[in-house]
Amino acid sequence: MGIWMWIMWMAMAKVTVGLAILLRNSCKLKRLRKRRPQLPRGNLGWPLIGETFEFVSYAYSPRPETFMDKRRLLYGKVFKSHLFGSPTIVSTDADVSRFVLQSDAKTFVPSYPKSLTELMGKSSILLINGSLQRRVHGLVGAFFKSPQLKSQITGDMQRYVASSMKNWEDDQIIYVQDEAKLIVFQILVKGLIGLKPSKEMNFLKLQFQEFIAGLMSLPIKLPGSRLYRSLKAKKRMAMLIKEIIQEKRKRKDRHAAALDAVDVLIKDDSEQLTDELISDNMIDLMIPAEDSVPLLITLAVKYLSECPLALRELEEENMQFKTHKSTLGESLQWSDYMSLSFTQNVITETLRMGNIISGIMRKAVRDVEIKGHFIPKGWCVFTYFRSIHLDDQLYKDAYKFNPWRWKEKDMINTSSFTPFGGGQRLCPGLDLARLEASIFLHHLVTNFTWVAEEDHIVNFPTVRMKRRLPIRVTRKR
């Protein structure tokens, strides 16, 4: 009997030990599962179309970020959705967005709607990756930052703005958006391909307007479709630009200073920088001249019109500086405009509130974990800048135009303020955008007072003013 009791006790002991081991392993497995990154919560919406229709319907509203706000309350700042035909992780978290922007092509690659990729082409700086992207971006970026180009842009901008404004009469209605587009396009085209106002410039402008109209269109290339007409317009532009490139190659002087971006790129001996690649990228780089920079100028005028205190301080700063330079018998240089601190604060606040670029999309080329969020290979990530820029936790009274918030230099945070993107694909023309806006505002506030008529912002498919921002001007005596 004692032996049987001993055997039973040993058996029970083994079972107890086995259960303990099993329980320990189970707890360990649970801990491992807890540590494993999880796919963010969210809703993929309807089959095929996902939540695209709802996103677009909100995009046309005065507050497009409402689509994101509703989901942030339910799921947090990072959530899953299904947009524009792809399962998507949406980030309204500054740190997650910064990680995506700073990543290279081994982790994320650009992802755009099909119509846009068709129009940009495979050699576009927006789509190429690796060493070629870094080469083109580096060459163009260095040229855009050069004091030589900034001096050229300053002189051209001052002349064009003065020439345009000298024809403005008292009580005349001026459409700021149209004026800004006309001036900026001519200046940027000269900086890109060396073309000055001429029949060719007018031709290029008309073809470009036809081209850009198809960037957010249905991906249908049938004759007569929006995309088809835009592709034809791009082909006509490319032919003109290739002729300019070939003429420049014939008289290329390696030792001569580069006067435009084409000069910079043809000096490079890389066989990858073909005439076709250069031409396509010059067209792509014209997009800020039609959208980004003119809208920055237009929105700044709109916000100033609605904030008399900011307008008064901007006017005082610019008038004092103009008087000071005039007393010294000096003209304003690019560094002078960039040193106007309150003017730069107005531009920064306009970029934050205006969100001319609401966000960017990238596609994961491998499984990625960011702050515990799992992004599967093949999924898109939509870093939505607008929600970050208008987050009350980051910016007090986020919907209030307040240029004074930028007096503290450490306010500009590279995670929470990304109007020009970031990382290797940071917009190379960000300094030029600020410079051109500064010059326009300087001439406007030192020469005119104005009253803005009622107008409102349209946020989709691109940001613009519905009535092109009409203002009624009066010249200062």
Q: At 410, which CATH number?
A: 1.10.630.10
Cβ-contact 323, 442 below 8 angstroms: no
The residue-averaged pLDDT of 4-21 equals 42
Cβ-contact 118, 234 below 8 angstroms: no
Residues 314-359: tens digit of each pLDDT: 999 999 999 998 888 888 999 999 999 999 999 999 999 999 999 9
The band of 219, judged by pLDDT with boundaries at 50, 70 and 90, is confident
Q: Does 15 have pLDDT greater than 60?
A: no
Whole-Å CA distances, 291 to 215, 407, 431: 12, 28, 16
- Identify the pLDDT of residue 409: 59
The band of 290, judged by pLDDT with boundaries at 50, 70 and 90, is confident
Matching residue, tokens 């290279």: 104
- How many residues are present in the chain? 477
Tell me, yes or no, whether 249 lies in a domain: yes
- Identify the pLDDT of residue 24: 56
Helix/strand/coil for 270: coil
Of residues 465, 432, 474, 462, the one with CA closest to residue 148 = 432
Q: What's the CA gap between 300 and 320, in Å, rounded?
A: 20
Q: Does 27 have pLDDT greater than 70?
A: no
- Identify the pLDDT of residue 144: 95
Q: What's the CA gap between 369 and 382, in Å, rounded?
A: 15
Helix/strand/coil for 46: strand
Q: What's the CA gap between 139 and 314, in Å, rounded?
A: 35
The band of 115, judged by pLDDT with boundaries at 50, 70 and 90, is confident
Q: Does 36 have pLDDT greater than 70?
A: no
The band of 415, judged by pLDDT with boundaries at 50, 70 and 90, is confident
Q: What's the CA gap between 92 and 76, in Å, rounded?
A: 9
Beta strands across the sheet bearing 448-452 = 172-175, 470-475, 448-452
Greater confidence, 327 or 434? Answer: 434
Cβ-contact 387, 416 below 8 angstroms: no
- Identify the pLDDT of residue 217: 83
Cross-strand bridge partners of residue 426: none
Q: What's the CA gap between 176 and 455, in Å, rounded?
A: 12
Q: What's the CA gap between 112 and 293, in Å, rounded?
A: 21
Neighbours of 183 (CB within 10 A): 25
Cβ-contact 50, 71 below 8 angstroms: no
- Find out whether the peptide bond into 219 is cis, omega within 30 degrees of 0: no
- Identify the pLDDT of residue 410: 60
The band of 269, judged by pLDDT with boundaries at 50, 70 and 90, is confident
The band of 367, judged by pLDDT with boundaries at 50, 70 and 90, is very high
The band of 424, judged by pLDDT with boundaries at 50, 70 and 90, is confident
Tell me, yes or no, whether 47 lies in a domain: no
Tell me, yes or no, whether 32 lies in a domain: no
Greater confidence, 239 or 9? Answer: 239
- Identify the pLDDT of residue 333: 94
Tell me, yes or no, whether 449 lies in a domain: yes
The band of 37, judged by pLDDT with boundaries at 50, 70 and 90, is confident
Tell me, yes or no, whether 18 lies in a domain: no
Say how far residue 12 (Cα) sits from the centre of its chain: 69
Q: Does 124 have pLDDT greater than 80?
A: yes
- Identify the pLDDT of residue 271: 86
- Identify the pLDDT of residue 462: 87
The band of 241, judged by pLDDT with boundaries at 50, 70 and 90, is very high
Domain that holds residue 291: 52-475
Q: What is the DSSP letter of 217?
A: S
Tell me, yes or no, whether 280 lies in a domain: yes
The residue-averaged pLDDT of 232-249 equals 96
Q: Picking from 40-54, 208-222, 310-324, which range would have the lowest pLDDT averaged per residue?
A: 208-222
Phi, psi of 476 (to 5 degrees): -75, 140
Angle at 209 between CA 207 and CA 214, to 5 degrees: 105
- Identify the pLDDT of residue 2: 44
Say how far residue 234 (Cα) sits from the centre of its chain: 22
Tell me, yes or no, whether 27 lies in a domain: no
> What's the number of domains the chain is made of?
1
Q: What's the CA gap between 283 and 195, in Å, rounded?
A: 13
Say how far residue 263 (Cα) sits from the centre of its chain: 26
The residue-averaged pLDDT of 404-432 equals 85
The residue-averaged pLDDT of 3-11 equals 41
Helix/strand/coil for 66: helix
Q: What's the CA gap between 91 and 110, in Å, rounded?
A: 16
Residues 181-211: tens digit of each pLDDT: 999 999 999 999 999 989 999 999 999 999 9
Neighbours of 61 (CB within 10 A): 12
- Identify the pLDDT of residue 408: 79
Q: Does 413 have pLDDT greater than 60?
A: yes
- Identify the pLDDT of residue 35: 57
Q: Picking from 21-35, 71-85, 98-112, 292-306, which range would have the lowest pLDDT averaged per residue?
A: 21-35
- Identify the pLDDT of residue 13: 43
Tell me, yes or no, whether 225 lies in a domain: yes
- Identify the pLDDT of residue 71: 97
Q: Which helix (H) or strand (E) holds 80?
A: strand 78-83
In the chain, what percentage of residues exceed pLDDT 90? 76
- Identify the pLDDT of residue 457: 95
- Identify the pLDDT of residue 55: 95
The band of 412, judged by pLDDT with boundaries at 50, 70 and 90, is low
The band of 411, judged by pLDDT with boundaries at 50, 70 and 90, is low
Of residues 310, 308, 371, the one with CA closest to residue 343 = 310
Helix/strand/coil for 109: strand
